[in-house]
Amino acid sequence: MNAEHVARWAEAHPLSPIHVDCATAVMLKILDGKCKMKPTEKLVMALLYERVKHLPAKSSARTSTS
């Protein structure tokens, strides 16, 4: 799985705001070392997060770094 594949998947399967929140939460777990996913799964989630981090989220506490 690579960035291009994840980008195509994200375009074909738009995330709802709550799913954007979920991707953000998983990315935070990856960054703080608490994620128990396999390394390849972490990579896919990080790539997905990069694709969706600009999208509207349900959580009002989410902030943008871009």
pLDDT confidence of residue 1: 82
Contact between 53 and 17 (Cβ < 8 Å): no
Residues of the chain predicted below pLDDT 70: 60-66
Tokens representing residue 60 in the block: 């009002």
pLDDT confidence of residue 66: 47
Q: Is 61 exposed, middle or buried (0-12, 13-18, 19+ CB in 10 A)?
A: exposed
Residue tagged 């954007």 (tokens): 20
* Rounded (10°) CA dihedral 15, 17, 20, 24: 180
Tokens representing residue 54 in the block: 């600009």
pLDDT confidence of residue 65: 52
**What is the reported pTM?**
0.82
